[in-house]
Amino acid sequence: MLNVVITGGAGFIGQALTKQLLQRGELTGPSGSPQKISRITLFDNVAPNDFGDSRVTTVVGDIGDQAEVRMLIGQDTHSVFHLAAVVSSGAEADFDLGYRVNLAGTRNVLEACRSLDGKARVIFASSVAVYGGALPATVTDSTPQRPTTSYGVQKLMGELMVNDYTRKGYIDGRAVRLPTIMIRPGKPNKAASTWASSIVREPLSGVDAICPVSPESMMVCLSPRRTVDAFIRLHELPGEALGVDRAMLLNGIPASAGEIAAAMERNTGNRKVGKIIWQPDPHIQKIVNGWPRALSSDRARSLGFSVDQNIDEIVRFFIEDDLDNQIKSLAS
C-alpha cells in the first residue's frame, strides 16, 4: 500500500492531482511495481476541499516550520508531490516570505524525506522563471538558467537541492519546470501570470477582467489537465531514464495576451461575457518580459510528455472542467 503527500494540496493543481490519483488508484512504489494508493495527505496553509474519500487526509500547517513538516512526512510516506509555493509577484514583493516558503520550505521537505528509512520519490514543481536575462527566441534543454526574480532564484535552488539529495541517495527526486498553467479556477492571485487565466475565466463568467500587460505580451501555456498528466508521468518514470539532471523542462503553447483573448471570444457560445480592460502595470510587464517566449524540450518529447493542441483546447478544457463551478462560486 502506498502513501502520498501533496504539499500545496489546497491549490487548484493539488486538487486536480488528488482527483486524478484517486481515479487512478495506484502509483509505482519503492519496489518499482504498481501499488495501490492507501492514503493521500493534503497539506496547505488553508483547508483543502473535502473529497468525500476515506483515502484523503487533510493537514493545515506551515511549510516553513521544520517540525510540522517532519510530522507530516512520516516513515510510511512513499511519494511526495511538493507544490507549495509563494507565487512570482508575491515572492518578489515579500523577500523574506518567498525565501521562507520557497527555499526553506523545500529544504524542510527534503530533510524530512532524508530521514525516512526508505527512499521516497519527490516531485518538485519548479518554473520557467529559472530562466531570465537575454533569452534566445526559444528556450531549450541547453539554455542556461539565469533567473532575474527572487521566485526564479528560489525555484532554481530547489532544483539544485533535488539533484544533490538524489545524488547522495537520500531521495529519488524529480523536478519539472512549468510554463504558465491556465486556466486556473477561483480568484486572481499574486502570480505575475495570473492575467493569462483572468482574461478567459472572468469574461466567460460574465465578469470584466483587467489585463496588466500589452496584447503583444507572450506567455507559454499549459492546461491543468496536461500539467497533472506530467506530474504523474514524471513520478512513474524510472530514475535511470532521467539521469543525473532531474530537472525536466516541459513544453507548452506560446501565445500572446491578444491571442488568448481571441481564443476566449471564439469559445463564448451563447454566454453573456465580460470585457477585457487593458490596463498596463509596468511592474508586471517587466516580470513577464523576462520570461521565455517559446519552449522546445526534445527531452520532454522523447520521454512522452504531451502538450495541448492549441489555446482553444485549453479554453475548452476550462469550460468543460471548471466554468460551471466558477459561475456558481461567483453567485454565492
- The residues annotated as belonging to the active site are 151
Residues 6+ away with beta carbon under 8 Å from 205:
274, 323, 326, 327, 330
| Helix segments in the chain, DSSP class H | 12-24, 66-72, 88-93, 95-98, 105-114, 150-167, 194-204, 224-236, 239-242, 257-266, 282-289, 298-302, 311-321, 323-331
Any idea which residue has 518554473 for its cell? 127
- Please classify residue 73 by burial: count the beta carbons closer than 10 Å to its beta carbon, then call 0-12 exposed, 13-18 middle and 19+ buried: buried
CB 110, CB 77: distance < 8 Å: no
Q: What are phi and psi of 44, to 5 degrees?
A: -160, 175
> Sign of the CA dihedral 37, 8, 51, 222?
negative
Compute the residue count for the chain: 332
The three-class DSSP label of residue 228 is helix
CB 41, CB 5: distance < 8 Å: yes
Task: Please state whether beta strands 26-28 and 34-44 pair in parallel, antiparallel, or not at all (unpaired).
Answer: antiparallel
HEC per residue, 139-186: EECCCCCCCCCHHHHHHHHHHHHHHHHHHCCCCEEEEEEECEECCCCC
CB 275, CB 261: distance < 8 Å: no
Q: How many CB atoms lie within 10 A of CB 214?
A: 14
CB 325, CB 203: distance < 8 Å: no
The three-class DSSP label of residue 308 is coil
Any idea which residue has 531514464 for its cell? 241
